[in-house]
Every structure is written in structure tokens, then in C-alpha cells.
Structure 1
Amino acid sequence: MSKTLVQPIGQKRLTNVAVVRLKKHGLRFEIACYKNKVLSWRSRVEKDLDEVLQSHTVYANVSKGVLAKTKDLVAAFGTDDQTNICLEILEKGELQIAGKERESQFSSQFRDIATIVMQKTINPETQRPYTISMIERLMHEIHFAVDPHNSSKKQALEVIRELQKNFPIKRSPMRLRITVPGQNLHSLSEKLNEWSATIVSKEESGSQLSIICEMEPGIFRECDALVRNSQGRLEILAVSVHAEGDTQVDLYDDEDIASHLPKESADSAPSNLPQKSTDSVLQLSEKMQKQTISSGNENAEGEVKQQKCSTCKAFVGDSKQYRDHFKSEWHKHNLKRKTRQLPPLTAEECLADMEMSDSKSDLQDYSF
């Protein structure tokens, strides 16, 4: 007697599911999507709905396979068209992600915000930017929490406003070229003085006057409106201006910050680095200095062609020194920054960043 094999008919198994949930009319509705496709759809990168939805079906619970009732769909959405309802849930619903994915997303966005803050701010005393590790430490001190629903740039501007209340930090000025007719010079000069703008240079060309100045970014819109009303022209030469010359970041910046921290925070920060860490930093410093001196001598004699490291954006000597450079802590440190899409550091900045990293390891980790 033969036996028949009974198999389920019309059963569709969902794998690699990303759930988008929407609560409406006191009921919960869910749709099953492919991972990494929901954000692409919302940013208008992906336009094929079939590449986003695993099924044009509205569920009450995706994990249990419970379908939403038709009467509930009509009561909440006013229609029972599954595709249109899926589109609304896809646009307005909340994407459910796992804990580790959420933590990774927050950590990445926290680093992005810190990078934007670093690029847009300077130390008012040295006119130079803080390192990324200093900015992160300050963000920890004000207990900043990432909001995944807001853009990184908007949150970075909020962080800058909060930091300015307690720490020596300010927005780096913009450099602009303003061209106006000569008869409007007096009114423009009065406004620049009122805005505390720094005039870099003036140049006259016929009846037109060109002024290069630096001012706070918050005044840009008002300045643009004034120039337009004066039948002039406004050009942005640099969004963020830092002090010219060799950028040198030392522990002075960190001590200056520590002096403005609450007493408990300042006392909890380690005053001295461990002896082993200090010795390694000194050895790295001596090695970098020898490498710089030897490179300078070879340039003066004109005997050896200088090799440039594309990662560190610096000349590091002849072929042998070029190979040794790839084994140095300087190059390894910049290589790590390059993987995070951060700009390279000079030898001095590298030393300061390493010292700050060692100091930071003794601080309590920031938890989201």
C-alpha cells in the first residue's frame, strides 16, 4: 500500500526579515521587508517596491505569521488595498532593529557628529581645532545622547551650543569675498563692524569694491541679504577657517578644558600617564624627530629623492625610511583614521592623540 506525502500548499517562508511596525487606530500593523532596503527606499535610492517588500501582505504579527484582519485595515486606513497600506506603513512606520545593530548605528552616528563638531569649531585661544578624542570626551561630559531620527549635522549644531555654555570652544569663522558698488561701502563697513567681522583685505576695481573678510557662520544669512539689497555679490571662500601654520595639538588644550570641567570630573581625570605609556610615546617622538631631521638633511644635500606617504600626506625620506615609515606608530594610527574616513594627523598631532587615548581609557565608558 503506497503512502502519499502531504506537503503544505502556498506556504511562503520569510528569511532575513526586517519588520516595519505602525500603530494606528489602537491596532498594530506590520510588514515584512528585506534588510538594508527600508532606508534605501526612504532615501529614494531604491524605487522598486518588490525589492523592498518580501510580501505585499499586512500582518498583525510577522514573527508569528498572523495576518491583519480586513475589518481592522478598513477601520484604520479606510481601505483594504494591501499594497497601498504597505506603502503607508513603509513611509510612516518604525523600523525594528536588533540591539547590536542599534548600538552599532548609534556608535557610528556619535562618531559622525563628533567629526562635524571638530570641523566646525576651534579653540578661541589657539585658533586651532580640537582633536576628535577631545570632542568625544566633551560630548561624554555633557551626557549627549544620539537621536537616530535627526540628522547628524543638526545634532552637531546642538552639541556646539551646549558645549559653548561650559567649555572654551567657538564656531570657526567663514571666509567670504564681498563685492559691492563703491557708494555702498560706508553702510557695509558699519555692518561689518557691528558683526565683529575681521577684514582680511580690500581691493578696488573701477566702481566696484571687493572685501575679503571672516565672520561668524550665524551671520551669513543676514550678510547675504544685505549684499543682495546692495546689488553686490557674495562668494564663500572657506566654510571653516583655522589658524595658518603648522598645526600643533598638545596637552595644553586638554588642561584648558579640564579647568572648565566640574570639580568631580576634573579630579577623576588621570593627571599623569603610566610610565610605560610615557616611555613608548617618548620613543615614538624621538624616532619621528630623527626621521624628520634625516629627511631635511637629504633635501638640503639634494642627493636622495623624497618619498611621500599618501596615507599621512607627508614626505618621509628615502626608500629605506619610506619602508620603515610603514611600520611606525604614526602611519598605523593614520591608517586606522583612514578606515573611518577621518583626515590624517601630523606627527605632533599623532602623539597628542595617542596620549589622549591613553588618558581616556581610564575614564568611564559612555553608554547609550
Structure 2
Amino acid sequence: MSRTLVQPVGQKRLTNVAVVRLKKHGNRFEIACYKNKVLSWRSGVEKDLDEVLQSHIVYSNVAKGVLAKSKDLKAAFGMDDQTKICLEILEKGELQVAGKERESQLSNQFRDIATIVMQKTINPETQRPYTISMIERLMHEIHFAVDPHSSSKKQALDVIRELEKHFPIKRSPMRLRLTLPQHNFDSLAGKLNEWKTTIVSKDESGNQLSIVCEMEPGLFRDCDALVRNLQGRSEILAISVHGEGDILHTEDVSSSTKQQPIDQLTEDMQKQTLAPKTTKLGDQAAVKQNKCSTCDALMGDAKEYREHFKSDWHKHNLRRKTRQLPPISAQECMADVQLSDSKGDLDEYSF
């Protein structure tokens, strides 16, 4: 009995991979990536393509190891450059995940969206925020579905607009300090009344007038432009104000990053303090110090040294290092992150 030896042709089998799939021109194209690297690439954290792709090869089926045909690549992408096609699939393709993993991701994103909605809205009758469980129930009632390809902040804005149509809920106001010459105040006062702005306090200093007021976040851009035209300046005191004097989220943009008090640091950042461990009297061997060249800082034992590489401080300095910027301290890093988040909130929440 004759036996025929059959060997696969044009196959390269890969295991333990994350697959990104893109359907184009009637064909399916896939690339093999390392797990947890695709999202890092899309968010801009990972810059090295070799750290994301297991191979610069386009497949028609990664699981079976079937390579995509050159003529199909040219018909769909207009070229057969594997690396450039991999980049396009990486940017536009759909990441394939298991059912339970996808369900967990959607559940976590749903919770994140509900949290943002809670922080940015109030009950107009009580001027207080709704609870997170109440927000989630309202989101279910409007049949909201999470879009995994859209940011949580953008979807939170859409949710707020939809909730305002059916329930007593509105955007919480932001608190500003407006400083301008007194003789220009009349021009500003008319607009403030038109915008239904609440004036909290007024302070006169020489020929300058300082006003603390609360207004709708969507009016900030117009207000800032008007104040600048009146030779004044605007300062953000709080992005979201809940209740009378109950500021849940305050970002002082004008303050120097070096003036941020240490007690404002998060618990994770506090763990990264650089105080060396003291040794008992009589100990002959000193505690071994490990230095992080990226952050230019000394750590204690090996465990603390490993934990440092997982911290937001180290990751922030890594991004600065790629831009040829010097490292900053833990306190400055926390203030820098808070300032960046504050400006990002203004860009996404002003409409």
C-alpha cells in the first residue's frame, strides 16, 4: 500500500496570538499580534511596531496558517508591501477576542461611561448628582449599547444628551474666575445674563474686577473668547460643581505644577516615595539601592524596584524620554497628568 506524504504549502502556524481582522474587497485579511499590545499601539503608548506584530506577514487565516495571496493584496490595498498593509489592518481592523473577554471589556466600559455621566451631571431639582446605580439604570432604560471602538468620554456625552430628553438631568456647571478691567464689565454683564450665568462673588482690586461665576460647560469657549477681547483673562476653578459649594472635581489650571501639595498624590504615587530604608544600628550591610535611569531615582528593595516599572510615573517619564525631554519627579508627574486630563476634559466636554 503506497503512502503519500502531504506537506502544507504556504502555511505558517502561530499560537498564543491576538488576531486583528479586516474585511476588504470581498476578502478577509488577518495579522498576528502579541496580546495586550494592540490597544497600547492604538492609544499611542507603544511605538515599536515589532513589539506589536509577531510577523510582518498578512494572512487570510491566522489559525490555520494560510497566507494571503499577493493578487488579493493588490486588489484590496493597491500594493503588496506587507508592512504597510499590516499597519492599515492594525489601525482599521477588528481585534478578535473571546466571548467572555469581550463581555468583560464591554461591562467595564459601560461602568466607566456611567461614572463619567455621574460626575458631569446633576438633578436640576436638588442640584445634586445621581448615584452610579441610578445612572446605570437610566442608561438601561434608554437601551444604551456600548461601542468598543469609541472613547468613553465621547459616548458619555451622547448618553447625557439622550438622558436629557427623557429624565430630569442636566450638565453640572463649571466654575470660572473672570478678571478684566472695570470699564469693560458692562459689555460682559449683558452676555452673562444672556447665558444665565450664576455670579458667586465679585472682587475689586484697583481698576481690575474679578468675578467668580458658574456656567454651562458648553459656553466656556465663547466666554473665554469674549473675555480675551475685553482685555481680560479666564481661569478654571472647577470643571464640575455639584450642589452649593460641593466641588467634586477641581483643577486649578493656572497654578504652577511645582506648587501641588504632596497630599494630593494618589495612593499609588505615594508608594513611589524615594526615602531610603533605614538600617538598624549594628547592621553592617547597607540596604541595596536600585536606580531607575529613566526617572533618575533610587528605589529600595527589588520588589519596590519592580513595582516602580509598573507605575504611571515611570510610564510618563518613558513618554517624555521618547520626546527628548528630561525626567520629572513623582509630584510633578501627578500634577502634569491632572493638568493634561483637565485640558482634555475641556476639549471633549465643550459643545
Q: Calculate the TM-score normalised by the size of structure 2.
A: 0.65
Q: What is the alpha-carbon distance in structure 2 between the residues aligned to residue 8 and residue 225 of structure 1?
A: 67
Structure 1 residue 40: Cα displacement:
0.9
Q: What is the alpha-carbon distance in structure 2 between the residues aligned to residue 102 and residue 175 of structure 1?
A: 39
After the TM superposition, which residues 1-368 of structure 1 pair with which residues of structure 2 at under 5 Å, given as runs?
A: 13-244=13-244
Give the counterpart letter for 1:135 in structure 2: I
Q: What is the alpha-carbon distance in structure 2 between the residues aligned to residue 245 and residue 23 of structure 1?
A: 53
SS of aligned partner of 1:165: helix
* Structure with the bigger percentage of helix: 1
Residue 280 of structure 1 corresponds to none
Q: Write the deviation string for residues 14-38 of structure 1: whole angstroms up to 9, x where unpaired.
A: 2211111112222211111111111
Q: What is the alpha-carbon distance in structure 1 between the residues aligned to residue 225 and residue 51 of structure 2?
A: 46
Call closer, same or farther: CA 1:52–1:73 in 2, change over 3 Å. same
Residue 254 of structure 2 corresponds to none
> Which segment is superposed worse, 37-46 or 9-18?
9-18
Structure 1 residue 74: Cα displacement:
2.1
Q: Write the deviation string for residues 215-258 of structure 1: whole angstroms up to 9, x where unpaired.
A: 111111111111111111000101111224799xxxxxxxxxxx
| Aligned 8 A contact 2:175 2:212 in 1 | yes
Number of residue-to-residue matches in the alignment: 244
Q: What is the alpha-carbon distance in structure 2 between the residues aligned to residue 177 and residue 243 of structure 1?
A: 18
Q: Percent identity?
A: 84
Structure 1 residue 150: Cα displacement:
1.2
Structure 1: give runs of 5+ residues left out of the alignment. Answer: 1-6, 248-309, 312-368
Q: What is the alpha-carbon distance in structure 1 between the residues aligned to residue 183 and residue 246 of structure 2?
A: 41
The ranges of structure 1 where at least 4 consecutive aligned residues each deviate by more than 3 angstroms after the TM superposition are: 7-13, 244-247
Structure 1 residue 76: Cα displacement:
2.1
Q: What is the alpha-carbon distance in structure 2 between the residues aligned to residue 166 and residue 23 of structure 1?
A: 38
Give the counterpart letter for 2:55 in structure 1: S
Task: Please identify the structure whose Cα radius of gyration is greater.
Answer: 1
| Aligned 8 A contact 2:12 2:66 in 1 | no
Aligned-CA RMSD value: 2.5
Structure 1 residue 11: Cα displacement:
8.1
Q: What is the alpha-carbon distance in structure 1 between the residues aligned to residue 235 and residue 107 of structure 2?
A: 36
Q: What is the alpha-carbon distance in structure 2 between the residues aligned to residue 9 and residue 167 of structure 1?
A: 62
Give the counterpart letter for 2:49 in structure 1: L
SS of aligned partner of 2:240: coil
Q: Calculate the TM-score normalised by the size of structure 1.
A: 0.62
